[in-house]
Chains A and B, each alone.
Chain A
Amino acid sequence: GAVVSQHPSRVICKSGTSVKIECRSLDFQATTMFWYRQFPKQSLMLMATSNEGSKATYEQGVEKDKFLINHASLTLSTLTVTSAHPEDSSFYICSASSGQGVSSNQPQHFGDGTRLSIL
């Protein structure tokens, strides 16, 4: 089956540092990748959608300068949380799809998430 690898699984760092999270599709080409964040006992919140080679589309309320997304190839997308602060602490999850856009009927395959803790 389709496998999405997300790395690292856990990050603990000081306030003000930048953190990069990688999302890789291991056995398929991901036309579209998605980034979510999830707070405890809450459902996933879509942050942005990215297509290979083009700029990410951010959801309302998500700061694009704060959460930098790069989708340089069909198998890799990265999310960089710049100048992270304690309020950025959350569970970040990526997903990848061979379809185009969020409305595609192709399944989204999720990574196992990155738990980010900012001290």
Chain B
Amino acid sequence: KNQVEQSPQSLIILEGKNCTLQCNYTVSPFSNLRWYKQDTGRGPVSLTIMTFSENTKSNGRYTATLDADTKQSSLHITASQLSDSASYICVVSARYGGSQGNLIFGKGTKLSVKP
């Protein structure tokens, strides 16, 4: 069964600290993995997209890693800011041929950055 599990479910850190969010998946055949940031009451914003051959991708203070062998991904946030408080969602896309596919969403990690 295709699944995406994220940990921790929630996280509280102090402003300026670093943190790492985890995403484990059992999706096959794998197409790509995405990290999104979703502020409360808003639509998600794409942070990174990684395909099978990519191990790491950065977007400013956000760095995502992908280990396709162990089917694990992480999102590292450096020097956190109050505006980083949001839910971070890991989404894995499975490819079933042609343009059809399947998106499997994790339940997200709710990050709270405190001053």
B94 at the interface (CB under 8 A from A): yes
* Residue interface bits A27-43, CB-to-B below 8 A is 1, else 0: 00000100000000011
Q: How far in angstroms is the closest Cβ of chain A from B73?
A: 15
B106 near A43 (CB under 8 angstroms)? yes
Residues of A within 8 A of B (CB-CB), count: 27
Which residues in A have their C-beta under 8 angstroms from that of B95? 103
Tally of A-B Cβ pairs under 8 angstroms:
65
Check A101–B43 contact: CB distance below 8 A: no
B102 CB–A CB distance under 8 Å: yes
Query: Is the Cβ of B105 less than 8 Å from the Cβ of A110?
Result: no
* Residue numbers in B under 8 Å from A51 (CB-CB): 99
Q: List 11 A-B contacts (CB under 8 A).
A: A32-B99, A42-B107, A43-B108, A44-B44, A51-B99, A57-B100, A93-B43, A103-B32, A103-B102, A110-B43, A113-B41
> B-contacting residues of A (Cβ < 8 Å)?
4, 6, 32, 42-46, 51, 57, 91, 93, 95, 100-105, 107-113, 115
